[in-house]
Structure 1
Amino acid sequence: MISGNILFRLKGSLEFKCQLDTSNEPHIQKAISQTFEDLCSKVKSESLVFSVCNSPVFIWPNKAGRATPECLSQNSPCKDLQQFIRTDDQEILKSSKKKDKRNSSSVVINLSLMSEVTEPGDLSALTLLTGISKHHFLYTSLPMDCVVSLPTSASLLVVCDALVEALCSQLNEMKKVALQHMKGTAMLIPQPFHFFLPDPVGLVTVIYPAGVPDSQLETQRKELHSQFQLPDNRPYLRRANIFHFPDESYKDGYLRNPHVHLKPPALENSKLYLVQGVYSYHHYMQDRVDDNGWGCAYRSLQTICSWFQQQGYSELPVPTHKEIQQSLVDVGDKQRSFVGSRQWIGSIEVSAVLDQLLGVTSKIMFVSQGSELASKGRELANHFVSEGTPIMIGGGVLAHTILGVAWSETTGEIRYLILDPHYTGAEDLQIITDKGWCGWKGPKFWDQNAYYNLCLPQRPKTI
């Protein structure tokens, strides 16, 4: 995304109706291809309508940008649409923009796909109706989801042309995926997913067939990695990697990446070395579990597991305290009585659980006393550059999560970005950042005389 641009997201469904008069594969492929081409013609027809969500605005993209209200014209700048949009959480949005500079420069305008002449499609899964004389009728609703990024000064006509082109392009990609995964007369529904790739690529849309797990799409991902010149040792295009639009909330209730709302520390000649990707903040008293006083390492481990889940390395849910304990019993590290107890765990146990549940190996850094952590800047910086995973650090009876360091190679000065699992409050971003539950800490944060073990999880080499 380009700062100052508007993301236009168009969602809706198109009815897919295809009669198959034969089981001959070439004829089936031809019929399905023709149906997709007919849908593209429909998208280019004058009956197509865009409805701007939460507003009275309707746009006819193929009628020279005709729109209502009449004060809008094809030459109106697209930013004018914002004045018509009303939401129930305006104040929440305003406050969040103060805290997150990315949101303030990433405006999203949502539109719905409509038509003047057809009924809305059934959003159910693919239906196969079998009639007499080998006639098959394929019917489903294709889930369309297109995104274009345009300058705020772009006219409505430019927006309309870009979205219509995106719809046709998406239908063409859906056709390729549908034909590739045909099984007789059964067609898997093609589904669009958006991914934000490293510069200079940015936001892209990829079509995957419904019902086919990521584990069976590696060949397709390899082709895409080659196309977009992505590294071949880490996932970028699994379903877990989908782009989270700034106007969408997470349904599970956990905060994501609270550290992005912090100002970096003022250290002369220092560089930031930070966690890469997305994680969830796990802390005391969540999930209706009272672990106050004993569960900090469990929560740090859950944060790490959430990172591997949300980067696409694992499809397993974040483990509960009991599941963590059971995995340590399964590997022979603990007795059966450990399950359901309130016993602490440390970085060695965290490493064992990551290996047992996720197949993730870890390096362990031993520090004989906290004062030595001030000299570990290079090692920690290298970890965040090469692996980019959250680090669990345990010492005495306390555990924390290290999300990054600010380190000066010339002076040796260092600050640690700490996510504190000891927080017991609600998911209030302002309290968490203002009160330092997620914040930058100096070397004196650590007990200078206590020993510490750090668990540094390693990325699996996979796409």
Structure 2
Amino acid sequence: MSLFFHHAFHYVSRFISFCFLLLFISLGNYTCLKTHIKVDSLSVVHRNSKVVHLYAVLVDSLLRNLKLAENSFLQQITNFEDSAFAICAPEPYHFFPPECGHFVTVMYPEKKPDSELDMERRLLHRFLVLPQDRPYFRRAAAHLFSSDFPANAPLINVHEGLIPTVKDGEVSAVKGIYSYHHYCQDSVDDSGWGCAYRSLQTIISWFKWQGYTEHPVPTHHEIQQCLVNIGDKPSSFVGSRQWIGSTEVSFCLESMLGVTSKILSVSSGEELSNVGGELAYHFRIEGTPVMIGGGVLAHTILGVDFNKNTGELKFLILDPHYTGSEDLQVMQGKGWCGWKGVSFWSKAAYYNLCLPQRPRCL
């Protein structure tokens, strides 16, 4: 078992200045580049390693970090005439692709956007034999350590640790990271009307965490303005407390992120017992959270536990109606995130499910 030490080098400055002199023989001309290099090294050691050995490990990690920075500078210098960007300091990012099982540290020039780093990402995917249809090395997908999370930020992946209960069932669940958005966050009292807005925020957070978009999680006002801008709602809708449903969620995803969605409809909660196979397929292939709206309520589905032989089905539900603090024990212990049977859904309500489709890209 390994323990990951994220060494911040607090006893020295995290910024080390280097001067690079690029010498040209002709007439003694030269170009001088002076910049700061951010040093952020990551070391992986066995939990039984002795403290006396950690210094050498950290020094080796630091040297590899500086070597990556040197390579970044040399590549920028080589491509300087063909680049629209000036030579700039590289920034380190630590990634943890699930297929790898280990961290990968990458240096990106700080002023070069992700849209200009497609070739670098493709090389990494080929070298590590990773899928070519999902982004693992965009900046937004960088691994966040516990110290990186701001205080009172929405919790992530609150379903982890919950035990499925269907006998001989197969679990298919959301892939990646999402933030749990619920009533009364961000100093907005949306109790009684904002559940679908919160479900949409959770879905957009998934696309942001996975690096598919840099679009921030929208506010209620921004969601309403989006629906007005595309002509779905009148201007009076902005600032109101009107509900939205699965269709509006799909409109916002397409307008804000360019993400298309599949809409699945059933005439009653009982009929949701027939969608286990389709939802299982969605989570295996797309891996995105699903928004479901019925009656006056909206929820987020994070997965299913389905026995295809017996038809027994349970849904992993993330409930946006929670109004408490960011307390994981309360969220799980009180069932705000948990496995629910088909009886959870109303027999008298008509349900629409919004299944966001993952873009195929790097």
Fold shared, TM-score > 0.5 on shorter chain:
yes
1:2-41 pair list within 5 angstroms? 4-11=1-8, 12-20=14-22, 22=24
Q: What secondary structure sits across from 1:456 in the alignment? A: strand
Could you list the per-position Cα deviations for residues 351-372 of structure 1 after superposition, in whole angstroms to 9, with x for gaps in the alignment?
Answer: 0110011000000000111101
Relative distance call for 1:355 and 1:23 in structure 2 (3 A) is farther
Q: Could you say which residue in structure 2 is the equivalent of 1:243?
A: 143
1:146 and 2:41 matched: yes
Question: Aligned in 2, Cα 1:176/1:251: closer, same or farther, shift over 3 Å?
Answer: farther
Distance 1:207 1:311 in 2: 18
The aligned residue for residue 406 of structure 1 is 305
Q: Are residue 297 (structure 1) and residue 196 (structure 2) matched?
A: yes
Residues 377 and 414 of structure 1 are in contact (CA less than 8 Å); yes or no, is this contact kept in structure 2?
yes
* One-letter code aligned to 2:280: A
Deviation of 1:248 (Å): 4.4
In the superposition, relative to structure 1, how do residues 357 and 186 fare at CA in structure 2: closer, same or farther (>3 Å)?
A: closer
Report the Cα offset of residue 10 of structure 1. 2.6
* Shift in CA distance, 455/186, structure 1 to aligned 2, threshold 3 Å: closer
CA separation in 2, counterparts of 1:9 and 1:353?
A: 38
Q: Distance in 1 between matches of 2:117 and 2:32?
A: 28
Structure 2 residue matching 1:148: 3-state secondary structure: strand
CA distance in 1, matches of 2:144, 2:312: 35
Q: Are residues 295 and 186 of structure 1, via their aligned partners in 2, closer, same or farther at CA, if it must alter by over 3 Å?
A: closer
Mapped partners of 1:224, 1:207: distance in 2: 12
- Counterpart check, 1:416 vs 2:315: yes
SS in 2 for 1:18: strand
The corresponding residue for 1:189 is 89
> Do the aligned partners of residues 316 and 186 (structure 1) sit closer, same or farther apart at CA in structure 2, a change above 3 Å counting?
closer
Deviation at 1:169, TM superposition (A): 2.1
Residue 143 of structure 2 aligns with an amino acid whose one-letter code is: F
Distance 2:50 2:185 in 1: 47
CA-to-partner distance for each residue in 1:141-173, whole Å, 9 max, x for gaps? 311122122212223454333333322222222
Indicate the larger mover: 14-23 or 438-447.
14-23
1:432/1:438 contact within 8 Å kept = yes
Q: Distance in 1 between matches of 2:225 and 2:148?
A: 35
State the distance in 2 between where 1:453 and 1:237 align: 34
Structure 2: how far apart are the matches of 1:345 and 1:439?
Answer: 24
Cα distance between partner residues in 1 of 2:355 and 2:194? 19
Contact 2:99 2:130 in 1 (8 A): no
Q: What is the correspondence of 1:5-404 to structure 2 with a 5 Å cutoff?
A: 5-11=2-8, 12-20=14-22, 22=24, 136-156=31-51, 158-182=53-77, 183=80, 187-246=87-146, 248-251=148-151, 253-262=153-162, 264-404=163-303
* Cα distance in 1 for residues equivalent to 2:58 and 2:265: 55
Counterparts in 2 of 1:326 and 1:409: CA distance versus 1, 3 Å:
same
Q: Conserved in 2, the CA contact under 8 Å of 1:269 and 1:410?
A: no
Question: How far did 1:186 drift?
Answer: 5.3
Residues of 2 paired with 1:194 and 1:345: CA distance?
38
TM-superposed deviation, 1:195:
0.5
Larger radius of gyration: 1
Find the aligned partners of 2:133 and 2:229 in 1 and give their Cα distance.
30
Equivalent pair of 2:35/2:88 in contact (CA under 8 Å): no
Deviations 1:413-445 (A, max 9, x none): 111111111111221222111111111111110
AA at the equivalent of 1:18: F
In the TM superposition, residue 301 of structure 1 has moved relative to its aligned partner by 0.5
C-alpha distance after superposition, 1:222-270 (max 9, x if no partner):
11111111111111000111112245434561111111142x1222101
Q: Is the 8 A contact 2:152 2:326 kept in 1?
A: no
- Asked whether the 8 Å contact 1:329–1:335 carries over to 2, the reply is yes
Residues in 2 aligned to 1:422 and 1:438: alpha-carbon distance in whole angstroms:
11
The alignment yields a C-alpha RMSD, in angstroms, of: 2.1
Report the alpha carbon displacement of residue 135 of structure 1 after superposing the two structures with TM.
Answer: 5.9
Q: 1:250 and 1:407 mapped to 2: Cα distance?
A: 37
Q: Is the 8 A contact 1:255 1:427 kept in 2?
A: yes
Change in Cα spacing, 1:142 to 1:368, as seen in structure 2 (3 Å) is same
CA distance in 2, matches of 1:399, 1:290: 16
2:11 alignment counterpart: none
AA of the residue aligned to 1:385? R
Shift of 1:454: 0.1
Equivalent position SS for 1:202: coil
Asked whether the equivalents of residues 275 and 403 of structure 1 are also in contact (C-alpha less than 8 Å), the reply is yes
What 5-or-longer segments of structure 2 have no aligned partner? 9-13
